[in-house]
Structure 1
Amino acid sequence: MRNLFVDGPNSVAAKARARRWRWVAESFPDLGQMNVIDLGGTATAWMRAPIKPASVHVINLAHDDQELPSWLRTEVGDACDLPKRILGDDYDLVFSNAVIEHVGGYARRQAFADAVHSLAGRFWVQTPYRYFPVEPHVLFPFYQFLPLNVRARINRRWPLVHTKSPDWSAALQDALEIELIGRAEMALLFPTARMRAERVAGLTKSLIAIKA
């Protein structure tokens, strides 16, 4: 059943990703000539993308050792605590998709936003919307509003969780690792952005802060 929502090529998530790429192309028609930094993304996502920028620099906490094309490079790093050599580099666009809700607390989300503003004049920052009724990581209704111990139990038992937590401690950590945010906080973090809502059945599913 999870394939219907997130895993298959015809899944709801796959169709949403395709629509989002169309919006990226509309917002940044010169993307093919841009020098892009991706905070928290993956090289695989860019290799599958319908548009290839002139160069992409991916920053992620996880190491990526796959062979990459010449226009794409990856580096292990914390987007909330980037070294000066990266902050001083010359980028045209900051891109981030479904990352800011994972960085851990408001102070780190503010540090993430500060990095976005420092790296380039243009940005695209997407995050799932806190008040959408189905939490997108575990596909459980109103998961984000439940007590921590209940969320941990869901992480261990719910059949639609992508990877069930192996033990109680991991289940608690997995629950704490997700903090969905709403429109007011996104507007506070990205005050110069145009906020675009991605909708499903008329309800806002995710927010995208765009400065083009």
Structure 2
Amino acid sequence: MFEARDVFADRQDAGRRLATAVAKYADANPLVLALPRGGVPVGFEVASALGATLDILIVRKIGAPGHAEYGIGAVVDGANPQVVLNEEAMRIVRPSSDYLEAEKNRQLAEIERRRETYMEGRPPVPVEDRTVILVDDGIATGGTVKAALRSLRRAGARRIILAVPVAPPDTIEALAQEADEIVCLSTPEAFRAVGLHYENFEQTSDEEVVSLLHRARSIPVRPQ
């Protein structure tokens, strides 16, 4: 049985509690990056509390030839989109360079389509020399988050903070080398699924994402 502190009412509750945990970064002009869709309601609360800019970071998996669910890498959007490859999977699969290039371009097109849907054509906020707080509604295996963190490092972020409400302890340990700091409110040993740690874990819709990102543009950014 979970303790009360391990359960969040909804993503808004999780975001408010997470905002308190990262409040020390409010004066660092942080950029809050949320992983859509479920990370956006959480990230909105964090950005609102910190007086920070909110943007999204879209990650698209590159699947193995003939086995799309087996990830061999990922494409991560941003001012300069990054391709992050899983070295172990690459050694096993050995995909051709033509396949990788085609998949990269296909996923980049999908990223652009989603960014157009969510951000109405606004370009990504550059992360170079910024303190970045990467937010999701929870982590299970961590593959997507790892790709996102590595892309932020390559893009020149000055400091990277991973902030999530809940994740299994072994996943947090595996990600420790990828971020400068990890803030995770709950790391239950008996972790089975992110949704079990929420009373309300209804799927976040595209419409909700668009609405929150629109509202985020009116957040008063804390003066530096």
TM-score, structure 1 as length reference:
0.41
**How high is the TM-score relative to the length of structure 2?**
0.39
**Greater RCO structure (CA 8 Å; 6+ sep):** 2
